[in-house]
């Protein structure tokens, strides 16, 4: 399979560079989605456009088990600082997280799988807005799930490029591999006044100082130390001049978790922290926006990806994936079927220090056939497993 993937490496590179030069962000991925849908139709897939707002779903095969392959298509609102020929042509937008390659490799996998005699069905999920959410706080994966893309799916797999790994390496682990994420938005309300007469005010900055201490103590003093979690403040806004104590302070933040019980506890502890505002004579407003669930790789699927990796690349090139509280909305698909995401080594010489989301991030394109082959071989083995079971 690796040999077959290497045979289409020029197409993989062409697709990837085209997407890289024309990045689109959020749900605004019409050009990318249009190219993806057109290519899939040429390959003989049954294609549905506009899924999850702007995503693409493609299916091939009849009956039996169904394996889904997910690829995200969106870029980041970031100005690229690379100067290669295929650098972004759109100011303020860049594929700094490798989704251009994810899309290209999924297209390559679709091309190779279309030539196979399948014992079952394959569904490709090309999703928008992995990096962002819409006005209701829902990401592309969540919108696609709402549109029913996981109905009938038995297994779902995906990959993510990792510039810390060398080309020819992959990493995979079972269990919680990335965190669930919610956002919170708060306002501490006091009583404004002249900076020379603080005794006539209820200073929201004074209240804020106590709230910050309470927020920072949630993980270290309120949660089980064996429960991965994070509570962070991302922004604080208040005041407009040096001699006026403002009426209120607005702040925002994020929380991360791997267990829903911990998620619930963090919500309660954040509320408790802001209750200090009332104790000190003020008040507060607080709201949460529920984000993506944690990404929990299923054991059987993770083991299958590991076996495929060892067979294709050698056991020395398959390692355990790093567990992180970074967000990845692939977890929304995993809520509906067993699956797993693996990390693909793409480290490029001269770019070792430019990791994901860096304006000089780039990847070694020799990795593209490798990621393609792992996706294809894993899918085929799950379908062959069904044939053997039958």
DSSP string, 291-326: -PPPEEE-HHHHHHHHHHHHHHH-GGGEEPPPP---
- Closest residue by Cα to residue 293 from 138, 152, 171: 138
Q: What domains are there in the chain, each with its CATH number?
A: 2-178+294-389 (3.40.630.10), 180-290 (3.30.70.360)
170 with 78: CB under 8 angstroms? no
Query: Which residues have C-beta within 8 Å of that of residue 351, sequence separation ≥ 6?
Result: 163, 360, 361, 362, 363
State yes or no: pLDDT of 118 exceeds 80: yes
Average pLDDT of 117-121?
Answer: 95
Average pLDDT of 45-65?
Answer: 97
- Say what the pTM is: 0.91
pLDDT digits 0-9 by tens, 307-351: 999 999 999 999 999 899 988 999 999 999 999 999 999 999 999
72 with 292: CB under 8 angstroms? no
Backbone angles phi, psi at 380, to 5 degrees: -65, -35
Question: What is the three-class DSSP state of 26?
Answer: coil
- Closest residue by Cα to residue 180 from 304, 10, 295, 305: 295
Count each helix (H run) and each strand (E run) in the chain, helices first. 11, 16
Query: Which residues have C-beta within 8 Å of that of residue 341, sequence separation ≥ 6?
Result: 157, 158, 159, 160, 177, 295, 297, 328, 330
209 with 197: CB under 8 angstroms? no
Please list the residues that pair with 344 across neighbouring strands: 161, 170
Share of the chain above pLDDT 90, in %: 97
Tokens of 156: 């779902």
368 with 169: CB under 8 angstroms? no
pLDDT digits 0-9 by tens, 239-250: 999 999 999 999
When pLDDT is cut at 50, 70 and 90, the band that residue 389 belongs to is: low
In this predicted structure, what is the pLDDT of residue 201? 98
Average pLDDT of 279-304?
Answer: 96
In this predicted structure, what is the pLDDT of residue 387? 56
pLDDT digits 0-9 by tens, 4-43: 999 999 999 999 999 999 999 999 999 999 999 999 999 9
Average pLDDT of 157-163?
Answer: 98
pLDDT digits 0-9 by tens, 68-87: 999 999 999 999 999 999 99
d(CA 135, CA 158): 26
In this predicted structure, what is the pLDDT of residue 327? 87
When pLDDT is cut at 50, 70 and 90, the band that residue 212 belongs to is: very high
388 exposure class (CB count in 10 Å sphere: 0-12, 13-18, 19+): exposed
In this predicted structure, what is the pLDDT of residue 168? 98
């Amino acid at each position: 399979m690796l040999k077959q993937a290497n045979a289409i490496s020029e197409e993989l590179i062409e697709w990837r560079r085209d997407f890289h030069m024309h990045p689109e962000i959020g749900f605004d991925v019409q050009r990318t989605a249009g190219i993806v849908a057109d290519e899939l139709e040429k390959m003989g897939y049954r294609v549905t456009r506009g899924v999850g707002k702007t995503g693409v779903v493609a299916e091939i095969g009849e009956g039996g088990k169904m394996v889904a392959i997910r690829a995200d298509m969106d870029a980041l609102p970031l100005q690229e600082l690379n100067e290669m020929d295929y650098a972004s042509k759109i100011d303020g937008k860049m594929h700094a997280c490798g989704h251009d390659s994810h899309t290209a490799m999924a297209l390559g996998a679709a091309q190779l799988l279309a030539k196979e005699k399948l014992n079952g069905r394959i569904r490709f999920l090309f999703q928008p807005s992995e990096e962002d959410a819409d006005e209701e706080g829902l990401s592309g994966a969540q919108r696609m799930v709402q549109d029913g893309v996981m109905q009938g799916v038995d297994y779902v797999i995906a990959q993510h490029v990792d510039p810390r790994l060398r080309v020819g390496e992959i990493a995979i682990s079972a269990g919680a591999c990335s965190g669930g994420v919610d956002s919170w938005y708060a306002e501490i309300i006091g009583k404004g006044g002249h900076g020379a007469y603080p005794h006539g005010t209820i200073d929201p900055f004074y209240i804020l100082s106590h709230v910050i201490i309470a927020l920072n103590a949630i993980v270290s003093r309120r949660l089980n130390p064996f429960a991965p979690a994070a509570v962070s403040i991302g922004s604080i806004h208040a005041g407009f001049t040096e001699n006026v104590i403002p009426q209120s302070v607005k702040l925002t933040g994020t929380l991360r978790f791997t267990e829903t019980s911990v998620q619930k506890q963090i919500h309660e502890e954040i509320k408790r922290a802001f209750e200090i505002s009332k104790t000190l004579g003020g008040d507060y407003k607080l709201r949460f926006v529920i984000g993506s669930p944690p990404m929990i790789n299923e054991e059987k699927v993770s083991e299958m990806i590991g076996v495929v990796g060892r067979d294709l690349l050698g056991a020395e090139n398959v390692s355990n994936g790093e567990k992180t509280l970074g967000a990845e909305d692939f977890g929304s698909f995993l809520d509906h079927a067993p699956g797993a995401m693996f990390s693909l080594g793409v480290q490029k010489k001269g770019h070792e220090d430019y990791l994901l989301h860096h304006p000089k991030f780039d990847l070694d394109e020799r990795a593209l056939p490798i990621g393609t082959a792992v996706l294809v071989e894993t899918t085929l083995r799950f379908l062959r497993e069904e044939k053997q079971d039958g």
